[in-house]
Amino acid sequence: MDAKMSLPGELDGEAIAILVLFHFHCRVQQTDDAQPCRKRLLLWLMDKVYGEQPSSPSFQVFADELKIALASEDDGQAQIVFDYLANMLSFVDIPDGLTKLFDEKFSMILPNYEQMGVLNTSDIFFERRSFFGLYFRRARLVFDSLDLQARNELTKSTRTWREGDFDRLDRATSSPGWQHDARLSAFRQYQLGLLRGDYTQAKDNMEKLFDFFAPGADHELHQYTLLHLAAFHLQSGSHPAARTVLQEAISLARSANDHECILACESLMNRILGVGSSLFSSSDRMQRHMGPPKTVRDASWQAQQDRHRGRPLTTIVHDLDNAVQLTESTPHGMPSLQISLELMDDAKRRDGNATAETAVELAQMWSSSGQGALAAVYRQVSCGQDTNSNSVLDSHIDARTMGQCQEAWKLAEQGRYQQALCLLISPQTYKAHSFNEHQEWVTTMADVLWLRARRRGEHQTLRILSEKLPSRKQRSVDIDVEEAVEAPTALVNLALQHLESNARGSVNAALDEFANSFKYPSELSTEERIESLLVKARNRLDGQQPMLALLPALSALSEAKRLDYGHLARTSTVLLAETLGLHLLLPRRALTLLEREVGSCLVGQDVELRAQARWTYARLLLACSTSKTDEELHRVLQWMTAAEQGEFCD
């Protein structure tokens, strides 16, 4: 558009018109027949405030957009809205008109708690912490902070906007004045920092904005500003700063008896305290001392943290399912964000979006446990809603993005790299990015490119990716497991014990004790730790060090089985069978171990694991064969041919 866009946080003619429509909704009494018109008006205002529609360069354009939004309603009801809007904007023609509007008219948008007992039952107010309530309070703070000259400039700008004089409007907005106030500049720089990914700039300017507005705010807005500042510190990795800010927010919330803010602060504090656990402890030492999650988002976050710390997946899935059912069955499970009208459709889609958030985490856990078909069902739940709809929350858009990233990685594991990349770069994926999900999207893109280059042996591509677009899979962390056993011969005995216990279907206590006898780096998640052990074992095996490869392979297998990571357990089994059967010359025992898992490997979606399982199984068959008949050789050749054909795709 050629029209000049309003700056974020700026008071202009359009913002004044929006506040006038707020006042119309709260104070103009209409019949029940006017309720559909009211709903359309509120939804249109929500799109305007949220930025779904561009700023209107003049009052005429603003009125035309409003007519389109109310076109399907009674013309008489819509005309009442237009007449009221035009009449209230005439205040800008009188001296100090905007001050009278804010003091005499707009003061009736929010309830006055000192007079709550004498209010009429028909009065309508915006709740102070609702979407529209926060918008009005922010506009009121901006207006109250303007001096007399700045208010006169705002009045002239509003009058010019109403009259549609574009030349005068351009001169007014381009001239130095109240629009270039340091507070608004800080807010603009904060948003630009988020948009560009420059979190240092965003954090600095958010603190500047907070320093400007917090001293003039009431306690309620002050504590919520602190809460959002703490959340931003947590997202940007500044945990000590987040804890300090949050402690002050909790103190203010308690002094104001704001129980909703106290619960939000406690939830965020639990997240801060849960970051950076140092050990990968067994489940009996990982008992949580926190209370049950109070929201679906908290339950999903808690499940993610438990998965990273090393709780068994089946236990996490059970706890998450119970938490979601408990939350949905209680009246406090759904936030009270209704503005004035009871929009039941809005409440229902909020409940649906909560389900989508948990579906992403459940899909990831079922995929890790080797249940690919069940994981695909949950990914479909998270990816199934159209993000162009007005009824989609940001949390659902985030869930949809996460689900598509998971789907892209699964396509890459199947060897369908082109489809995975097309899914990631499609407009339906990247146009809906929030700042929270952008890093996940970029990392998934790097993972797909890295996997394709590694499987194809494109070393030059891998070098470029390591420099320009680092992947999670590229992190090489040397996990020290060398002191877990006294002598190398103990490793072979431990592997044989595992084979015997696996044949009996029992649990090898010695292997579990071995896996818990060393520590892991705290910066890795559960899957990353097991994958690092497998990479270490593979590198040693390729370097003709099979005895040293046993140690990380055994520990990876033990951890994967103990924590129900079925896919990684099968990968570890194939690697262990290759080590024992082909390098340590124990082919029969290795074949017995692999035969129990080869069927699961072949029905899985990971094309690389299928190829490795077929290739290892064929070589073990050949090593165990004594007669080398044509039939046996033909069987071995079939397995090798299938492995070579399925090794690479696309």
- Going from the C-alpha of 557 to that of each of 305, 522, 554, 622, the distances in angstroms are 22, 20, 5, 25
Between CA 374 and CA 277 the distance in angstroms is 30
Query: In the predicted model, is pLDDT for residue 590 greater than 70?
Result: yes
pLDDT level of residue 295 (50, 70, 90 thresholds):
low
Q: Report the C-alpha gap between 448 and 210 in whole angstroms.
A: 40
Could you please report the per-residue DSSP string of 352-395? Answer: HHHHHHHHHHHHHHHHHTT-HHHHHHHHHHHH-S-TTSTT--HH
pLDDT at 335 over 50: no
Q: Estimate to the nearest angstrom the gap between the alpha carbon of 407 and the chain centroid.
A: 15
Which pLDDT score, from 0 to 100, does residue 397 have? 57
Report the share of the chain in percent with pLDDT over 70: 64
Domains, the chain, ranges and CATH? Answer: 13-163 (no CATH), 182-278+294-380 (1.25.40), 403-474 (no CATH), 488-645 (no CATH)
Q: Mean pLDDT, to the nearest integer, of 297-321? A: 76
Give the model's confidence band at 282: pLDDT under 50 very low, under 70 low, under 90 confident, else very high.
Answer: very low
Mean pLDDT, residues 468-493 taken together: 55
Residue 502 is predicted with a pLDDT of 54
Confidence of residue 34 (pLDDT cuts 50, 70, 90): confident
pLDDT band at residue 296 under the 50/70/90 scheme: low
**Given a cut of 60, is residue 537 above it in pLDDT?**
yes
The rounded distance, in Å, linking the Cα atoms of 590 and 282 is 28
Give the separation between CA 61 and CA 201, rounded to whole angstroms: 36
pLDDT at 598: 81
Instruction: Specify the range with the lowest mean pLDDT, choosing from 282-296, 448-462, 601-615.
Output: 282-296
User: Which pLDDT belongs to residue 527?
Assistant: 79
pLDDT exceeds 70 at position 378: yes
pLDDT digits (tens, 9 = 90+) for 542-580: 888 888 888 888 888 888 888 888 888 888 888 888 888
Residues 6+ apart with CB under 8 A from 567: 367, 368, 369, 370, 604, 606, 609
Q: Count CB-CB contacts under 10 A for residue 638.
A: 12
Which residue type, as a one-letter code, is found at position 524?
Answer: L
Which whole-number Å values give the CA distances from 568 to 88, 358, 417, 509, 553, in the listed order? 67, 23, 21, 20, 11
For the chain, give the mean pLDDT: 71
pLDDT at 102 over 80: yes
**Contact by Cβ (8 Å): 160, 168:** yes
**pLDDT given for residue 496 in this prediction:** 58
CB 298 within 8 A of CB 267: yes
Judge residue 27's burial from the number of C-beta atoms within 10 Å of its C-beta, 0-12 exposed, 13-18 middle, 19 or more buried: middle
H/E/C letters for each residue in 258-275? CHHHHHHHHHHHHHHHCC
pLDDT tens by residue, 248-268 = 888 888 877 777 778 888 888
Of 250, 251, 231, nearest to 241 (Cα)? 231
**What element of type H or E holds 189?**
helix 182-196
Looking at per-residue confidence, does 447 or 142 come out higher?
447
Least confident among 128-137, 286-295, 302-311, 431-440:
286-295
pLDDT at 498: 57
Over the stretch 336-371, which tens digit does the pLDDT of each residue have?
A: 333 333 333 443 444 444 566 677 777 777 777 777
Written as one string, the DSSP assignment of 104-173 is IIGGGSS--GGGGGG--TT-----TTSHHHHHHHHHHHHHHT--HHHHHHHHHHHHHHHHT-HHHHHHHH
The top-scoring range by mean pLDDT among 374-378, 504-508, 550-554, 631-635 is 550-554
Q: What is the pLDDT of residues 153-179, one digit of tens each?
A: 888 888 888 887 655 545 444 444 444
pLDDT at 276: 40
pLDDT tier at 327, thresholds 50, 70, 90 = low
Confidence bin at 292 (pLDDT 50/70/90)? very low
DSSP-derived 3-state class of residue 241: helix
Q: What is the mean pLDDT of residues 385-389?
A: 46
Using CA atoms, how far apart are residues 30 and 76, in angstroms rounded to an integer? 12
For residue 104, with 0-12 CB atoms within 10 Å meaning exposed, 13-18 middle and 19 or more buried, which class applies? exposed
pLDDT value for 349: 44
Instruction: Tell me the average pLDDT across 315-324.
Output: 76
Global pTM reads 0.52
Rounded CA separation 600/570 (Å)? 8
What mean pLDDT do residues 37-59 have? 82
